[in-house]
Structure 1
Amino acid sequence: MTSFDPPPARPSSVPVRPPQQANPSWMGQIRPQHYRPAPGDGQLQSRPALAPPYSAVPAPRTSAGVVALVLGGGVLAFVSLFLVLPYLLGNTGPGGFVIGFVASLLPLTSVLLAVRFIDRWEPEPRRLLFFAFGWGALVSIAVVMLIEPFFSAAAGPASGLDYTTFAVTVQAPVVEEFSKSLGLVLLLVFARKHFDGPVDGVVFAFTVAGGFAFTENILYFGRAIAESSNPGTDLFVVFFLRGVMSPFAHAIFTGTTGLILGMAARRWNKALTLPAFALGLVPAMLLHSGWNSMGQDFLAQYILVQVPIFLLAVLVVVLLRVAERRLTRQRLQEYAAAGWFSSQEVAMLATPAGRRAALRWARSIGRARPMKALQQAATRLALIRQRVLSGRDVPAHQQDEQRQLGEVLSLRDAVLR
């Protein structure tokens, strides 16, 4: 790897035609009038790594929105604990609570492993993942407990359904999906730069839903112990249904909302937030209601309906990851055209095989950590460029681009020294 002298930037009066592969996937669509080449020598001075031009750009700080979100989420989670914990203990008893808590860790682990798999290409900040989990496990549960009585009183009589059917097929899907997805809207509003695409939406949605299912499973597993004359058998049945057959049920429901919010976020248009939220709740509520509506023919519906839905969700995740890699490679190729990378470096930073090979080489010389950081920084650079090409808030995104180029080149220097 070497440093490169970027070519001079094109004069602004010359129209720029996007390269043929400017839109490498459905995740990265841009309008031709918004396209601009990657910055060259006219915007950022050519330099060896760690030279001074980037020192003039202030180091990025955690935004006030993210700080407010994390602190506010922590306070809400703490307050919610005083509502949720007594409810759980009252329904499960101390023994049932402890057993339910331990048993709930197993399906939770499977969901969090899925989150890690999806999030590997461009990991989200841990503080935001903690916010998402805390929102799902505590705050959304408290919101459900607070608004369910009002929703039942307002909508129950008008539905014409008996209370049990209404509670299972209407109330739970509507109230629970609304409560969980409020956390996604807060993430989109206050942590905008970290929630700028469908993959981010799915990652945050799975994390929120994993937290919600964790608390709900404590209730169901613990109640199977506390209210049964044959607790061992009943716990096994409930655990098999919820922990083995459907650990991803809530993740898939809320994941549809996260996906749609992420697609709206990729357009970088704040006006789309509320319409996308409303639209994203529809499939989440319908999937949730369909799951809760399964009755005596549960096994047949599970095999014929729920398993295909799960497989479709897996396919969507795979397609998201492929699209994210294609977008990263295309944007880094545009930086390569401006002289910032060689084609070999683009492959090293933007392809799975190239990343693995680069990490193996870095481990052999004791520099795996800076190499991994370099790969993640390059991915962030590609996504920042996607924001620049969105045509909105371009000057702010270009400043982020300058900072990120400085970080990438500094990390490259750390790998080579």
Structure 2
Amino acid sequence: MASYPSSPPHQDHAAGPRPTGAVPHPRWWERKGVRATALATLLAVSGAVIAALVREQTGTEGFLVGLGLALVPVPLLIAAFRWLDRVQPGPWRNLVFSFAWGACAAALIAIVANSFATRWIETATADPTGADTLGATVIAPVVEESAKAAAVLLVFLFRRRDFTGVVDGVVIAGVTATGFAFTENILYLGNAFGTDQLTGTGPGLTSVTAATFFVRVVMSPFAHPLFTVLTGIGFGVAAVLAPERGRVRRVLVPLAGLLVAMAMHAFWNGSSSFGEYGFFAVYAAFMVPVFALVTWLAIYLRHRELRTVRTELGVYVGAGWLAPPEPFALGSLKARRLAKEFAAHYGGKEAERAVTAYEAYATSLALLRHRARKGGAGADFAVRERELLDGLWERRGYARAALAYAAQVTTPMWRPPGYAAPMAPGAAYPYPPYRC
């Protein structure tokens, strides 16, 4: 069996000693606790105000009915975006912030700005129908997509380490739009329920509530996420551009994504004016193909991340930081899952958490090195690289055995020269044995 060093190996391309010296004391408004408290207060106040406004429009009963029906697609959409982010899962705090911003702050901005603009146009033109059409096809897309894009911008600026590529942009944008659509659906479904109450229409296929639920929740739950994902792609491309060589592009690419999102949103909102079957024509000929294309792109990018992990980690094997089977195992979702199950079986939850963290550190390290080779790493590359390497080294005890097992099971014919995957003595593990 191959032996590995018991202390971190020396590595020429890794960071040197950590910088020493006095760390400047942050001013009170720069402290994380102050900023987090301010942000949480802003979102809480926005949520309370938007809930009061929606309840005023729908009534208490309509609000509760709309709330229950609007919740239906939320877990499915969040799970889909979380599944897409499996290679390098972002922290939950970013997803919670994104959903809350979309459901509270962005929704409040949209409902106030849209109402004000539509009423101003109606007063100026004395044409209520034209004002509503202009509000839906021009004002609403600009206001709503800008409000949702603000969440992506905030994560991009203040959580830069968590925003490393297009997949991160897609996930943050999609979760933000899911929160926005959740609040908007409460309003539409609550109003539809109120209409049924006024007309005496009971529950059934002919009710306005059923029709609204079918169109917004069954047919097009992905509409708002799809629009805002285009903005997220723009920010994701900006995240991988070289800071020194792409300053203009780092501004123009997200702006282009935002403009495309606005245009697509306007086209979707205007579909009802294209005739009796305009909505269904736009849905079938435009929305579904674009949704399929964006979905394919997101999955392709996730697979490319896995290939990057496999190729970039090889240098750390040669330097002694990683064991030979690890780049392959870390570049396979199946092997990662088996490694965590192996660790949980032999070491319990502690071992499983260690392997999960090891996989996350290794993925971040591979993507960091990939950006550095492309000229997209920041000035703190060496410090960040050393942090990730130290994080791997601290968790290698559980991770190396688990990843070696996973590599052997997923590729039974592959075996590095002189290497035998470890196995607990006398243990009976419920997975196929190693093949030598």
Instruction: With the length of structure 2 as denominator, give the TM-score of the two structures.
Output: 0.77
On the 8 A contact 1:137/1:213 being kept in 2, the answer is: yes
Structure 1: which amino acid aligns with 2:361? A
CA distances 1:31-54 after superposition (whole Å, capped 9, x unpaired): xxxxxxx53xxx56xxxxxxxx88
Correspondence 1:249 to 2:223 = yes
1:133 and 2:99 equivalent?
yes
Deviation at 1:396, TM superposition (A): 1.6
Give the whole-Å Cα distance in 2 for the aligned partners of 1:153 and 1:101.
27
Query: How far 1:105 moved relative to its partner?
Result: 0.9
How far did 1:227 drift?
2.3
Instruction: Report the 3-state secondary structure (helix = DSSP H, G, I; strand = E; otherwise coil) of the residue aligned with 1:339.
Output: coil
Question: Sequence identity of aligned pairs in percent?
Answer: 33
Structure 1: distance between partners of 2:361 and 2:10: 24
Higher mean displacement: 342-351 or 359-368? 359-368
2:187 is aligned with 1:219: yes
Whether the 8 Å CA contact 2:141–2:263 is kept in 1: the answer is yes
- Structure 1: segments with no counterpart, 5+ residues: 11-37, 45-52, 59-63
Matched, 1:343 2:324: yes
Deviation by residue 1:327-349 (Cα, 9 ceiling, x = unmatched): 22222123223332233111122
Offset of 1:310 from its aligned partner? 1.6
> Which residue of 295, 301, 305 maps to 1:314?
295
Q: Deviations over 1:350-395 (max 9, x none)?
A: 2223213323322331332222221112112222323444546655
Matches within 5 A, 1:72-111: 72-111=38-77
Taking the TM superposition and a 5 Å limit, the aligned residue runs for 1:147-226 are: 147-148=113-114, 151-152=117-118, 162-226=130-194
Deviations 1:213-269 (A, max 9, x none): 000011011111112222532211111111110111100000000011111111153
In structure 2, the residue corresponding to 1:142 is in which secondary structure? helix
**Which of 292, 295, 298 is matched with 2:269 structurally?**
292
Matched residue SS, 2:4: coil
Are 1:66 and 1:191, in contact at CA under 8 Å, matched by a contact in 2? Answer: no
User: Aligned AA for 1:327?
Assistant: T
- What secondary structure is seen at the aligned counterpart in 1 of 2:298? helix
- Contact 1:205–1:254 under 8 Å retained in 2: yes
Distance in 2 between the 1:325 and 1:360 partners? Answer: 20
Matched-pair contact (CA < 8 Å) for 2:43–2:105 = yes
Change (3 A) 1:88 1:378: same
Match for residue 237 of structure 2?
263
CA distance in 2, matches of 1:368, 1:409: 16
Does the 8 Å CA contact 2:50/2:104 hold for their aligned counterparts? yes
The one-letter code matched in structure 1 to 2:255 is A
Q: Structure 1's 144 and 196: CA in aligned 2 closer, same or farther, altered over 3 A? A: same
Q: Aligned pair in 2 of structure 1 residues 55, 399: CA closer, same or farther (>3 Å)?
A: closer
Match of 2:354 in 1: 370
1:263-322 per-residue CA deviation (whole Å, 9 max, x = no partner) reads: 111115365444233211111112111211222212233222222122112111111211
Cα 1:113/1:388, change in 2 over 3 Å: same
Task: Give the AA of the match of 1:130.
Answer: V
Q: Which moved more, 1:205-214 or 1:72-81?
A: 72-81
Partner of 1:32: none
Amino acid at match of 1:117: W
Q: CA shift at 1:146, angstroms?
A: 3.6
The answer to whether the 8 A contact 1:112-1:207 is kept is yes
Corresponding residue for 2:88?
A: 122
TM superposition shift of 1:55: 12
Give the letter for the 1:412 counterpart. R
Cα deviation for residue 136 of structure 1 reads: 0.2
Matched, 1:3 2:4: yes
- Mapped to 1, the partners of 2:300 and 2:400 lie a distance apart of 34
1:23 match: none
Residue type matched to 1:93 in 2?
G
Going from structure 1 to structure 2, the CA distance change for 1:272 and 1:3 (only over 3 Å counts) comes to farther
CA pair 95-133 structure 1, distance change in 2 beyond 3 A: same
The 1-side partners of 2:398 and 2:31 are apart by 31
Q: More displaced, 161-170 or 238-247? A: 161-170
Structure 2 distance, partners of 1:216, 1:303, is 23
* In structure 2, C-alpha distance between the alignment counterparts of 1:174 and 1:328, rounded to whole Å: 38
| 8 Å CA contact retained: 2:323, 2:400 | no
Flag the 1:365–1:281 CA change in 2: closer, same or farther, 3 A: same
TM-score by length of 1: 0.81
Cα deviation, residue 181, structure 1: 0.5
Query: Is residue 2:389 matched to residue 1:409?
Result: no
Shift of 1:102: 1.1
Amino acid of the residue matched to residue 299 of structure 2? V
Q: Secondary structure, in 3 states, of the residue corresponding to 1:399? A: helix
Indicate the larger mover: 302-311 or 89-98: 302-311
- Bigger RCO of structures 1 and 2 (CA < 8 A, at least 6 apart): 1
Distance in 1 between residues matched to 2:3 and 2:359, nearest whole Å: 16
Q: Which amino acid aligns with 1:170?
A: V
- How many residues matched? 374
The whole-number CA distance in structure 1 between the counterparts of 2:280 and 2:64 is: 30
